[in-house]
Amino acid sequence: MGFQSGHIEKGMVDLRRDLPILSIDEINFLLYFIGESSFKGKDMGQVYALSLKLNSILQHQLKINEKESLNKNQ
């Protein structure tokens, strides 16, 4: 008997675990908060990377919600 796992990149979240999920409103709030804040030059790389990740999560969550909505209407 062997153990098989999907591809999990080091430093990435395993979505199969019971981790809290950010709602679309929470993600939008964080992106808005980041956009309205001022950061020093040394922090801009991390802020940019975090913003990209949050946007990616938002797009993924929007797709999930759209699929769930379509399934409910069928």
Under 8 Å between Cβ of 25 and 56: no
Which pTM value belongs to this model? 0.64
pLDDT attached to residue 50? 92
For position 68, what pLDDT does the model report?
84
The predicted pLDDT at position 4 comes to 55
CA distance 31 to 52: 10
C-alpha dihedral sign at 34, 53, 18, 67? positive
12: which DSSP letter?
A: S
Provide block-wise average pLDDT over 10 residues at a time, the chain (74 residues): 53 64 89 91 91 91 86 80
